[in-house]
Amino acid sequence: MGLHKGPRLLDLAKTPQHLQFNKYVLTGYRPVATAPECLGSLFYMHNELGNIYTHGVPFFLFLVLLPFSIPWMEVDSVWLCVVHYLACLCPTVGSVVYHVFMNHVGGEHVYDTLLSLDMFGVCLVNTLGRSSMLIGSAVLMFCEEGNTNILRLQAFLWQAGFRFSLFLFRVFGSGAGSPDSLRLFVIMDSLAVLGGLVNIVQIPERFVPGLFDNWGNSHQIMHVMVICSIVYLHWGTLEDLAWMKTYQCPADAGRPSSSLHFRTSAQSSSELLSSSGSDRSAMGKRKMAATPLS
């Protein structure tokens, strides 16, 4: 960076108590600052800059590029696409705001609010992305306030457990969805949980305190894994949307075949898959198995 010099940075011992959450990051702390000064910190080096940009850059990439691969007009339930788009954007927005303003002069109260916002964004991608338990997740998050990394992981694990039950339902029960998307969602959750664990054990900075103050520390590794997790969510959702277009309710389900309210067309699924980079042959088999709606 180095566009301008910035204020004199602080060591760990000199920074406010509520910002001392990683004892292996020894230097590079910003002093308390006003909102404009926090924004100004986007342009000089400090130990939160990597955290800001590892989510800030993907946010703009998702904002601009995702709409091109989301099949807005291919499904009747456009709201599914809207929810998915927002779910992909929310965690990066909350995270960037948290990391930019965490040293705000408002102190611990502002910090706790921003941390809740950060966690809320991740809860949104976990819930909007795969379930309708948004309210339950938000309640859990605000009740526990997420003051520690362990509480943060607990909130995510709770959601991951819920989604795991959905996986079991889809595999062994009468749940539905693309068979291929299941694999992608498992990878998505694995990456998210693994990132949370790395953040808790504080590796690699634990082994060489001070060496990873600005770049390469556990929180930045977690950020990258969260981004990869969102990408897998996106690919999995595209698979499911493609599957929905060819799916027909079983004849013995006692419902008309249009009960899912998804448009079915002969050519659509392969187009969707081409944008998700998925296995075309697998989709071909599903298209053959599915009976076209009349």
Interactions with Zn ion, residue window 71-110 (CB under 5 A): 95
- For residues 56, 61, 67 and 68, what is the CA-based torsion angle, rounded to 10 degrees? 180
- Is 223 known as a binding-site position? yes
23 versus 255: smaller Cβ distance to Zn ion: 23
Cα gap 265→142, rounded to integer Å: 44
- Contact letters (x/-) for Zn ion, 205-244, by CB under 5 A? ----------------------------------------
Cα three-residue angle 274-262-121, rounded to 5 degrees: 70
Q: Which of 280, 222, 275 has the alpha carbon at shortest distance from 66?
A: 275
- Is 234 known as a binding-site position? no
- Residue 209 CB, shortest distance to Zn ion, in Å, is 20
- Residue 286 CB, shortest distance to Zn ion, in Å, is 38
Cα gap 81→293, rounded to integer Å: 22
- Residue 147 CB, shortest distance to Zn ion, in Å, is 15
Q: Which of 161, 159, 164 has the alpha carbon at shortest distance from 141?
A: 159
User: Which residues contact residue 179 at a Cβ distance below 8 angstroms, ignoring those fewer than 6 apart?
Assistant: 282, 286
Cα gap 247→253, rounded to integer Å: 13
- Residue 51 CB, shortest distance to Zn ion, in Å, is 5
- Residue 95 CB, shortest distance to Zn ion, in Å, is 5
- Please give the structure tokens belonging to residue 88: 């992909």
95 versus 217: smaller Cβ distance to Zn ion: 95
C-alpha distances (whole Å) from 68 to each of 14, 230, 233, 247 are: 47, 16, 16, 24
95 versus 276: smaller Cβ distance to Zn ion: 95
98 versus 262: smaller Cβ distance to Zn ion: 98
Say if residue 143 is exposed, middle or buried (CB neighbours under 10 Å; 0-12, 13-18, 19+): exposed
99 versus 245: smaller Cβ distance to Zn ion: 99
Chain position whose Cβ is nearest to Zn ion? 95
Q: What is the CB neighbour count within 10 angstroms for residue 89? A: 19
47 versus 95: smaller Cβ distance to Zn ion: 95
- Residue 156 CB, shortest distance to Zn ion, in Å, is 13
- Is 99 known as a binding-site position? yes
How many residues bind to Zn ion according to rule CB under 5 A?
Answer: 1
Q: Residues annotated as binding site?
A: 99, 219, 223
Q: Residues annotated as binding site for Zn(2+)?
A: 99, 219, 223
Q: What are the residues binding Zn ion (CB under 5 A)?
A: 95
